[in-house]
Structures are given as structure tokens and as C-alpha cells.
Amino acid sequence: MAQSTAKTDYQGRIHNLQKDMIGRYYARLTAAAENRGEKAVYMLISGNPVELIEAFDMIPVYPEVNALQLAVKKQSLPLILAAEEMGYSTDNCAYVKADVGMYFAGRKTPFATIPEPDLLLCNYVGCNVYLQWFEHLQEYSKAPIYNLDVPFFRTKAIDPSEEDVSYVVKQLEDLVEILERMSGKKLDYQKLQRIVELSGETGALWSDIKRLAQRRPTPYDAYFDSVMMMAPLYCLRGTEDGLRFFQEAYKEMKQRADNHEGPLPEEKFRLVMEGPPPWPYLRQFRDMFSRWGAVAVASTYSTVGGIWEFGFRHDPQRPLESIARHMLQWNVCNRNFMQRYQQIKDYVDDWGADALVIHSVKSCRLFSAGQGDMREYFTKQLNVPTLLIESDIEDPRYFSEAQLRNRVDAFFEALEHQRMLVSK
Amino acid sequence: MEVKVATTLVEEIPQLDSMLASCREIAEDSDFATAKHWLEEHPQKKAIGCFPIYCPVELIHASGMLPLGIIGAGNQIEITHADSRFQSFVCSIVKSTLELGLTDRLKFLDGMLFHSICDPTRNLASVFQRNFPGLFVEYIHFPQNFASPLGRKYLETEYRRLLNRLQERSGYSPTPADLNRSISLYNRIRCALREIYRIRTETPHLLSAAESFVLVRAGTLMAPEDFLQILEKVLAEIPGRAARPKDRIRVVLEGSFCELPPLGLIETVEQAGCYIVEDDFLRGWRWFTEGVPIQENPLAALAESYSERAYYSGTKHDSRETKAAHLIRLCKEKKANAVIFQAAKFCEPALFDYALYRKALEAANIPHLLLEFEEKTWSFDRARSEAETFVESLLFD
């Protein structure tokens, strides 16, 4: 039976650390916007070469992170509407619309002033909207653009081909030249190696944290808490701050796991969550699961910016090659649906999940288009109880709370009933 | 439905109108009768379906197989199975193409090729792989870096990979001479199609957009050798057509590069008083702005042409000239009075382009109209009244 829950999100020591660090990151953005700081390089989250940007002391700007922050802070709708007024369709990704709306509203947000781009670095990693998005930003800002083309991980081979890797490495070398021109200084290779080493160590800790969710109970919710930890993972990867955050986070999670502490009083159902969260209603959405004692032990969305839990590490001995491999292979966006099915299946098996919940979002067709087939595969072929529900990642108009709650309740009632039958 | 096959059509019915009528039947036939008939006559040949937008058909042809345009199902079939795989916010062509597969209508194909045009298509390729395990399914990565020569060099290696995969399937390993023969054949087809489009730009009263649309579409559903014969006959007959110019506005039509608009919609726009002097219908089957060079390394020639001598497309992101600047230049070149943006419902690439174009067209003072469609639409009253109002506002301005 569903319970009302008093507290459903994790607020430990790292919460304050994160607030502090991300606050500093946003202060850097504001400084850049006010011409007091570093040069701003716009990039996308999934599979990016932030290590090179940090090596040149520039600041990465992630329109996706800004868009999601706007949604979390319930600021996205007027910006989306402003973009639709300009001609954007209701069917266009609302991340883009919120970002465009924010751009034309003076780039001021409650968390920072976003700088104009000095370089639009479109790391095209599976998501075709990325290309459109940066094409539009180029049209509006007239900033220089570089499309870093990453071949889709499209074959049945275990690894991308050598041609694929070398193509990306050569483009990274192009990028180094561009950054050298922009900064007026040569790449400091040792500095790059150190930054790549930091990314490698951060990835290793993140992987360890994810593996802790295999414990019973899981010490944290690997969807709702993991997506919060994505901010330091993406905005601070390759920095000392980023590494320190994950050292602390691992310590804290490990202690909780050893003490058998979970995010809920009782862990009744272990879930794999697929798809991005509804940022404007994160709390309401989380509560729908918490009240059933359902906790995520793994999630695909937390691998948008990188998959580390299956062994990938950035390698300081081969910095560009390992950045290229991260972009090509070790993030969920550049993988095809078959590879995502396999990833979910591994989570179900190795993290001991009882069910799969697919949150389909209209904005992100990369994630969602075809998830009906995914449900078909998991329910019919693998016999994994699967729930498919729909709302949106950014646009609050698509979140129908009562309807979602009904679907979620019906699903867990059925699961509970099934359990009762088995135990009899 | 009985469909006249291309060979009969060339030999016995040379008149332009009958040829176009037959093309229309082929274009609207979701049973692919013409292609199936050809395959029966060539039992050693296999057919490979090409999903929009562009596919290097020469590679398929040189491997001894027949490339065919598998581009949704128009308004010919009802979607009953694919709806459970793809959500309501996904465009019709993705669902109808899957429906063709789920209802066994693609069984005559040996394989399907997809490529990176948009996210639903990307996922459709995987859904095909899972649902049709016996089918050869390949996904081509077309580079999006045009600023550096690395992109086109990479495309050459991608073509080599694809060619290897195709020859595994066909059992025939084409030589450079084979590839060049296929390139020559398709060069002649594309050259004839450019001529068709030149006629439509210069003397639009001689051939309507709907007519050229069915011609090109039919060409994707038959053997290229047969199509070339038809094209040559059509081109020979067009100048003799008795038609007088009408008082219409000249429009460039953009946004219909993937899902095919219903023929009735194209006719509606024309009847409302538009000469469509340029469009992006089936652009992938016309793709190059000039012939692909015949040279020792045909794959390099194809890859270089993709990067240097291809039309602009909503899904090709060439940062060397912005899309908006390109469209405005195109309007001037074609002496167009206006742009009609005809986007498929839920088509994210086209709808993104619209936002970009609208801003630029307004800045350049070029009138424009947005018409959304679905391949399965059959009533055009609303489009008619919108297009008529648009035309009137321009004619009597």
C-alpha cells in the first residue's frame, strides 16, 4: 500500500558542498558575462571535451544545464512561450525554446547571467537537435561555430572502429588550434594530462557510487539523487573541485551503505528508471514513487554525460584518444536503441531491479521516440514489469499530475498483488 | 490494383499525360507492384529500401541490387501496430514505414538503409533491427563537419564500410569501374531531374510541381535504367505542351524534405495561385547540383560531392553558409515572390528551420506562409483557404 512520506530526498553533507561549488561555477559565468572573466565556450552535455576547454582556462557553458535550472526554478514557461511567439513549434524541444527565450530576454536568470558565446562548440553526439540548437545560436549571436562531428555508435561491434576514433581525435586537434588562436597561447600538454587525470579519478568515484546502489537497501536514489549529482559531474569535471566533491560523495554514500541506510524508511521496490525527469515537477514526481517504497537503483538519464560504471576511465597517457572514446562510446546519447536496451538489461540483472519505469518526454525524441518498442521488449521478451508514462523534461504544460499518479498507483498495486500471489 | 510497369509504359504510351498518369499510379501504390514485377523478372537481384533523405544509391546499384525509396505509406494504409511502438508526438512517416514492415509489406526487400537525419529516424533503425531480425539494416553516419576536409574524408571510409556490408549481402564485390558505371547512370538521371527543375523555374506553366513530384517519386520505385528512359521521353515532350502562363505568384517551397506531402496538397497550393518554382520534395534523390566526377576512386568522388556539390537540406548542417542566408539567396536566384514553408507535423528538423527562416524572411521582407501537413491528410480545405488568402494578399498588394 502507498504511504505518505515525510521526506523523500537526500540532504546530506554533500548537498551543501554542491550548492557552494555550483554557486561558484555560476559566479564564473556571471563574471564572464560581465567581461570580467574567462572566455565562454558553449557545449552540449553528452560526450564533450571539457578537458580541453579547462586546459585553456576557458569556461564551459551548457545550455542544457541552464535550461534545466530554469525549469527547476519554475521559470521556463514564459521563456518557452516567448520562443513560440518567435515561430518555434509546440513540437520543438523545450530546452531549446527556454534557452532561446532566455537569450533574447537578456541572458539573465535567477542563478547567473549567461555570457555570450566566444565559441559555439557543437559536440554532435547522437542528438540531432544539438545541431539545430547551435545553428540557431550561431544565427542569433554570430559567434564562431565548430561542429565536432562524432560518428554514431551504430554497428554491432563492441568498440567503435579505429577510423571513428581517429576522425574524432583529428577534430580535437583542430579544436586545439582554434582554442590556441582564441587564447593566444599554446596547449600546455602536461596541464591537459592532469585535467584528464582528474576526469579519470572523478569517473572512477562516480562509478563506485553507482555500484553502491547494488546494495540492499541502496544508500541513495539512483535516479532522483543521481540527477542532482550530475551538476558537479558535468560543470566541474576535470577540476580539483569536481574531484573533491566526488571524494566526499563516495565517503558519505559508502558510510550510509555500510549502515544500511536508504533514502526511504523501507525499500519495497527496486526500479530502473529510463528517460529524463520532469524537471518542473521533480518533487511531485519523486513522491509518486516514494509513497510506494519504490527506489531507483539505476537510471539511463544519469549516463547522458558519461557511462563510467562499466569500466571506462579517461586516461592521462592518451588524453585526446580517451576524450574521443568518451564522446563516441561512453555516453548514452551516442548509443543506439539496442545498446540502450542492453544497458537497461544489465542494470536490471546486476543491480537487482524489480521493474522498469520509462518516463517518456516529448521534448527529447532522442530518448523517447520508440520507447513503446522498449516496453514491448522488456515486458514480452524479458518479462520485466514495465511502466511507460509521459510528460516533459522542461515544459510544465505536459505534466498531468493526477493522470500520472493514477498510472503509477495502478502499476505498483499490480506489482504488490503479484508479490502477494507469489508469497502465498 | 493493377499497375502498369515501367517498361510497358515506355514502349507503348509515349504521350506525356499518360506517362505522368502512370507515374502517379506507381507513386501512390503502397504495394510496390512495379518494383516487385521487376524483381520477378530479375530473380537474381535483391532490393534495398532507402529511408529519406539521401542515400548513396550507386553503392547499392553497383553491388548488383535495386535501391528503392521506402518513404512512408502516404494515405494508403491505416496505422494499427506501429502506434504501440512510437508515441503520438512522433511524425507519421516513422510510424507508417514501421507499419509497412509490421504488416509484411516490406517482405520483398532484402534490407533497409537509414541515416542520421533526426532522432526518431535514428531510433527507427534500431526498432527495425529488433523487429525484423532477418532484414539487413544499416545506418549511415553522414558527417556534419563541413568546415574541415576531415568530414568528407571520413565519409569516404564510411562508404567503404557500407560497401563492404552491401557486398556481404549481395555476394558481389563491385570494382571501381562498376561503381563508375552506376555513378554515370545516376548522373544522367540527376541531370535530367535538374533539367525538369530548370523548366519549372523558367517556364512553370509547362510542368506543375505535382507532376514533377509524381515523376520523381515513381523513379524511386523502379529500376533506374527504366526511369532514365521515362525521363528522357518526358523531357522530349514537355516543350511541345500547349499551356499558357497564368497570373500566379512564384514561390519557393521548403520543409517537405522527408515525409511526403499528399499530392492533393501540392495541387491545392498550385490551384490557389502559386507556381512552385523550387521545392525540396525528394531532394535526396536529386541531391547533387552537378555531376559526380568519374575518377579512379569513386567513393572519394561521391563523398566529395556530398560535401561540395550537394543541395542544402534541413538535416545537413553546413556552417559555411547559414541556412537562412542560403534560403534568401535561393529566393533571389529563383525570382520568387514568396516562400511557402510546408512542414510535416511533428517534424522537428523542419519546424526548427521554420523558426530560423521566419525571422530571416521577415528581416528580408519576403512574404511567407506556414502549412503543416501529414502524409495521411486527405482534406485540404483549410490549406486551400490559407493559400488563397496568401496569394490574394500578394497579387493585389
Instruction: In whole angstroms, give the CA distance from residue B296 to residue B24.
Output: 39
In a domain, A94, yes or no: yes
Domain ranges in chain B are: 31-173, 242-395
Q: Averaged over A121-149, what is the pLDDT?
A: 97
Using a CB-CB cut-off of 8 Å, the residues of chain A touching B373 are none
CB of B320 within 8 A of CB of A144? no
CA distance B379 to chain A (A): 22
For A246-286, the DSSP string reads HHHHHHHHHHHHHTT--SSSS--EEEEEES---GGGHHHHH
Cα angle B168, B174, B177 (rounded to 5 degrees) comes to 170
Between chains, do A167 and B89 touch, taking CB under 8 Å as contact? Answer: no
pLDDT digits (tens, 9 = 90+) for B343-365: 999 999 999 999 999 999 999 99
- Helix or strand holding residue B362 (H, E): helix B348-363
Q: Does B137 touch chain A (CB under 8 A)?
A: no
- So what's the pLDDT on residue B4? 47
Grid cell locating A186: 599554446
pTM score of the predicted model: 0.96
- So what's the pLDDT on residue B75? 87
| Rounded alpha-carbon distances, angstroms, from residue A117 to A124, A310, B53 | 17, 34, 32
Beta bridge partners of A298: A272
Total number of domains constituting chain A: 1
Grid cell locating B337: 515572390
Instruction: In whole angstroms, give the CA distance from residue A244 to residue A251.
Output: 11
Q: Whole-number mean pLDDT of chain B?
A: 94
CATH number of B31-173: 3.40.50.11890
Q: Averaged over B322-329, what is the pLDDT?
A: 93
Between chains, do B352 and A92 touch, taking CB under 8 Å as contact? Answer: yes
Buried b (16+ CB within 10 A) or exposed e, B359-385: bbbeeeebbbbbbbbbbbbeebeebbe
Q: Which of A129, A149, A369 sits opposite B87 (nearest CB)?
A: A369
Q: Which of B122, B130, B154 sits opposite A373 (nearest CB)?
A: B130
Cα-flanking dihedrals φ and ψ of residue B125, to 5°?
Answer: -60, -45
Instruction: In whole angstroms, give the CA distance from residue B80 to residue A397.
Output: 28
The separation between the first and the last C-alpha atoms of chain A, rounded to the nearest angstrom, is 18
Q: Which of A93, A132, A369 sits opposite B120 (nearest CB)?
A: A369
Which residues 154-183 of B have a C-beta within 8 angstroms of A?
Answer: 154, 157-158, 161
Predicted confidence band at B314 (pLDDT cuts at 50, 70, 90)? confident
Kindly provide the residue ranges of all beta strands, DSSP E only, lying in A19-177, ordered along the sequence: 40-42, 59-61, 119-124, 145-149
Amino acid residing at B342: Q
The percentage of residues in chain B with a pLDDT greater than 70, rounded to a whole number, is: 96
Residue numbers of the domain that contains A406: 13-423
The percentage of residues in chain A with a pLDDT greater than 90, rounded to a whole number, is: 95
Q: Whole-number mean pLDDT of chain A?
A: 96
Asked if residue A280 has a cis previous peptide bond (ω within 30° of 0), the answer is no
pLDDT of residue B313 exceeding 80: yes
Using a CB-CB cut-off of 8 Å, the residues of chain A touching B87 are 360, 362, 368-369, 371-372, 390
Q: Which of the following CATH numbers is that of domain B242-395: 3.30.870.10, 3.10.180.10, 1.10.10.60, 3.40.50.11900?
A: 3.40.50.11900
Predicted confidence band at B396 (pLDDT cuts at 50, 70, 90)? confident
In a domain, A5, yes or no: no
CA distance B150 to chain A (A): 7
In a domain, A395, yes or no: yes
Grid cell locating B312: 542544402
Between chains, do B154 and A366 touch, taking CB under 8 Å as contact? Answer: no
Per CATH, B31-173 and B242-395 having the same topology is answered yes
Q: Averaged over A52-80, what is the pLDDT?
A: 97
Between chains, do B319 and A145 touch, taking CB under 8 Å as contact? Answer: yes
